[in-house]
Amino acid sequence: MARQVDVHPVDPQPRVVSRVVQRLRDGEVIAYPTSSGYALGCTIDNVDGRERMIRIRHLRDDHHFTLLCRDFAQLGQVVDVSNAVFRAVKAATPGPYTFILRATPEVPRRLSHPKKHTVGVRISDDPLAQALLAELGEPLLTTTLILSGEDTPMTEGWIVKDELDHLVDIVLDTGECGAEPTTVVDLSTGTAEVLRHGAGDASPFEID
């Protein structure tokens, strides 16, 4: 049974954040709110956690997981970024965007696309996400919590708890969160391709 934990939406309690991060390090999977809806998360080295997230969302083998990064220093450790791509990502970050880029050798192969060796990355200014990442000290493996058959992510903690009570370990609740997922932009080839239109303005990445 999942534990539902109330967290302050603007100033997350340090003691709560510390306990959640310890549970992440112990191999647990969390559901947590973001400005773009709920997401699932676990540590990068949590092989079982990744498989659990695949089962919860019924994901395909070629699904792009996202590495939620605290800042550009972390982002630069997990993906290759040219000067032109850096400028494009920098202009839209932090914000409701996920960027697909080529993974660096530091990223385990099981986390990247099996053929393209790409991975999603995101930097969020959400206070809870930033607090978790600061305590964890590394990117968080994550995926938007959109259940099979749905088009939008879950937005309320009590509903997540009710639906996923025996599938996740912790549900963090800051109140109702945003309902529109991130805009996904593939920059792995050097030319932008919008893979999903979401909360972020896609027009800077679209070719007329």
Report whether pLDDT(208) > 70.
Answer: no
CA distance 178 to 65: 20
**What's the average model confidence in pLDDT over 126-132?**
96
**What's the average model confidence in pLDDT over 154-175?**
95
More confident residue, 88 or 43: 43
Q: What residue spans define the domains of the chain?
A: 3-199
Q: Dig out the tokens for 151 from the structure.
A: 């088009």
The proportion of the chain whose per-residue pLDDT surpasses 90, expressed as a percent, equals 79
Report whether pLDDT(155) > 90.
Answer: yes
CA distance 75 to 79: 6
**What's the average model confidence in pLDDT over 149-163?**
92
* pLDDT tens track for 28-78: 999 999 988 999 999 999 999 999 999 999 998 888 899 999 999 999 999
Radius of gyration of the chain (CA): 16
Helix (H) or strand (E) holding 163, with range, is helix 157-164
**What's the average model confidence in pLDDT over 183-207?**
91
Report whether pLDDT(114) > 60.
Answer: yes
The mean pLDDT of the chain is 93
Q: Please give the single-letter amino acid code of residue 153.
A: P
Q: Dig out the tokens for 158 from the structure.
A: 């009590």
pLDDT at 178: 82
Q: Dig out the tokens for 26 from the structure.
A: 């112990």
pLDDT at 206: 84
CA distance 7 to 145: 19
CA-based nearest residue to 132, from 7, 10, 20, 4:
20
- CATH number among 3.40.190.10, 3.90.870.10, 1.10.10.1200, 3.30.530.20, domain 3-199: 3.90.870.10
CA distance 127 to 129: 6
Residue with tokens 């997981």, as numbered in its chain: 65
pLDDT at 177: 87
Query: 19: number of CA atoms within 13 Å, CB side?
Result: 14
**Direct distance between the N- and C-terminal alpha carbons of the chain, in angstroms, rounded to an integer:** 50
